[in-house]
A and B are shown apart, each in its own frame.
Chain A
Amino acid sequence: MAKKEDSVKLLGFWASPFSRRVEMALKLKGVPYEYLEEELPKKTPLLLELNPVHKKVPVLVHNDKILSESHVILEYIDQTWSNNPILPQDPYEKAMARFWAKFVDEQILPAGFMSLVKAEKGIEVAIEETRELIMFLEKEVTGKDFFGGKTLGFLDIVAGSMISFCLARAWECMGIDMISEEKFPGLNRWIEKLNEVEIVRECIPPKEKHIERMNKIIERTMSS
């Protein structure tokens, strides 16, 4: 149970979708927190101490409890602060939200970034394969405002942070119109709806700075 004297700290990185999604959840629940920016790639001794296994952001510290891995943190936040629930109550709906969230991070991310940058099969093939994966999400959101229904949920937070505010910028850098209005009307509408939510807007990495960083990462990845 969350109490008044709760201390919540978040170690994050401004450009990390994993870190931004935790901020969205905390803001959605109205949880006050202290934000500590990691200046990646340099890692502070605090980060290495708090997350010795993976040495990555985000890390949430709630009183004396230390949590890492964004999906784990999101579920913890949802169970600890019960207002504005993120996950559905029904076990099947919950399983679906978890499944699609895993799909976003483990399938869409590598396809939508590394496969495009490396383009081992050729860029056109890589783009088509990414679009095929994204089509699964199009089907999930069609007819709804958000994946969670009328309000933001777990999958909106995960997919929003990863696709709209991270991968979309990489695609812009590469000159790719990945989620075209014509092929993905549902997702385009979803992105508009997301942008209308104030707490989401507060958690979007600043565009110019982000594009500059993306360009550097793409160059570095291409030449490695």
Chain B
Amino acid sequence: MADEVILLDLWASMFGMRTRIALAEKKVKYEYREEDLENKSSLLLEMNPVHKKIPVLIHNGKSVCESLIQVEYIDETWPGDNSLLPSDPYQRAHARFWGDFIDKKVNVTARRIWATKGEEQEASNELIEILKTLEAELGDKHYFGGETFGYVDIALIGFYSWFGVYDKFGNISIESECSKLIAWAKRCMQRESVAKALPETEKVTTFISQCLGLE
């Protein structure tokens, strides 16, 4: 039986980007459906009744929610010859730890730069610290997992398309503070799966500016 895979998503979601990248890395054919968050589809509400959020991965009628859980599910369901997570339990745990760190820290802080008034300075300072921690973890490696692109890279790279937003509203320059991380991001962008999944930074910045009524 042919697999039916549907992804309910939003073009600008750095979480949806993770799932798109994972599906592309595994060459899984899927139907992409853009959601309007002001007017959520009945399918979204049915498939993610708990959070009512995107992305939602629907595989043969069954839904998997939460982007990093989706990435692991994709890795386990379509093993192929390119694993997104290491097979060694400790290396795997290490990757999950950093995925969890990114989930707990990055968006919560980054959002405050543009979505909350009066916190731009504090939030952007905190964001730089978080990115520097990640940069230290990357070290001199090609990717977070070493030579191969994987889970932690996938967890973080979507935020790169939002760096313009953080720079603009936080009055910072992530490039000058975290040059190694930017170099890593550019390496990732050379992968077709990433280049296709990430929108242009300018498009995201314009979108957010419009949301805030500034353009």
Of the residues B65, B89, B92, contact of A99 by C-beta under 8 Å: B65
**In the complex with contacts A102-B69, A103-B50, A136-B50, A91-B76 CB distance below 8 A:** yes
- Tell me the bound Cα distance from A66 to B160 in angstroms: 30
Question: How far, in Å, is A184 (CB) from chain B's closest CB?
Answer: 17
Residues of B within 8 A of A91 (CB): 73, 76-77
Of the stretches B95-103, B151-159, B178-186, B187-195, the one at the interface is B95-103
Q: Considering the complex, which residues of chain B in the window 56-107 have a beta carbon less than 8 Å from any beta carbon of chain A?
A: 59, 62, 64-66, 69-70, 72-73, 76-77, 89-90, 92-93, 96-97, 100-101
Q: Contact residue range for chain A?
A: 20 to 34
Contact call A68/B72, Cβ cutoff below 8 A: no
B133 interfacial contact with A, CB 8 Å:
yes
Whether the pair B97, A67 counts as a contact (CB closer than 8 A) is: yes
Whether A95 and B96, one on each chain, are in contact in the complex, defined by CB atoms closer than 8 angstroms, is no
Partner of A75, one of B49, B76, B96: B96
Binary interface profile of A, 58-80, with partner B (CB < 8 Å = 1, else 0)? 00001001011101110110011
> Given A79-B89, A80-B89, do A99 and B96 touch, yes or no (CB 8 Å)?
no
Q: Which chain A residue shows the least CB distance to B89?
A: A79
SS of A interface (majority): helix
- Decide yes or no: A102 and B66 within 8 Å by CB, A92-B73, A95-B72 being known contacts: yes
Provide the main secondary structure of the chain B interface: helix
Rounded to whole angstroms, the CA-CA distance of A67 and B91 in the bound complex is 10
B100 close to A71 (CB less than 8 A): yes
In Å, the complex CA distance between A68 and B100 comes to 11
Choose one: A76, A95, A136; the contact of B92 (CB below 8 Å): A76
Chain A neighbourhood of B66, CB < 8 A: 98-99, 102
A137 vs B69: C-alpha distance when bound (angstroms): 18
A76 adjacent to B90 (CB under 8 Å): yes
- A129 → B minimal CB distance (Å): 13
The residue of chain A having its C-beta at the shortest distance from the C-beta of B78 within the complex is A91
Alpha-carbon distance between A95 and B62 when the two chains are bound, in angstroms: 11
CB distance A72 to B69 under 8 Å? no
Return chain A residues, CB-CB under 8 Å to B59. 92
| Known A79-B89, A79-B92, A92-B62: A72·B97 in contact at CB below 8 Å | yes
CB A79 to nearest CB in B, in angstroms, measures 4
CB-CB under 8 A for A72 and B89, given A91-B76, A92-B62, A92-B64: no
Q: Which of B76, B89, B93, B96 contacts A94 (CB 8 A)?
A: B76
A60 closest partner in B (C-beta): B93
CA separation between A96 and B172, bound complex, in Å? 40
Q: What is the bound-complex CA distance between A95 and B19, given in angstroms?
A: 14
A78 vs chain B, min Cβ distance (A): 9
Task: Say how far B101's CB is from chain A's closest CB, in angstroms.
Answer: 7
- Evaluate whether A95 and B101 lie within 8 angstroms (CB atoms) in the complex, with A53-B133, A76-B90, A80-B89 already known: no
Given contacts A67-B90, A95-B72, 6 further A-B contacts (CB under 8 A): A67-B97, A71-B96, A75-B92, A76-B92, A95-B70, A98-B72
- A residues engaging B (CB < 8 A)? 53, 62, 65, 67-69, 71-73, 75-76, 79-80, 91-92, 94-95, 98-99, 102-103, 107, 136
Residues of B within 8 A of A (CB): 49-50, 59, 62, 64-66, 69-70, 72-73, 76-77, 89-90, 92-93, 96-97, 100-101, 133
What are 10 sample pairs from A and B whose C-beta atoms fall under 8 A apart? A53-B133, A68-B97, A69-B97, A71-B96, A75-B96, A76-B93, A80-B89, A95-B73, A102-B66, A136-B50
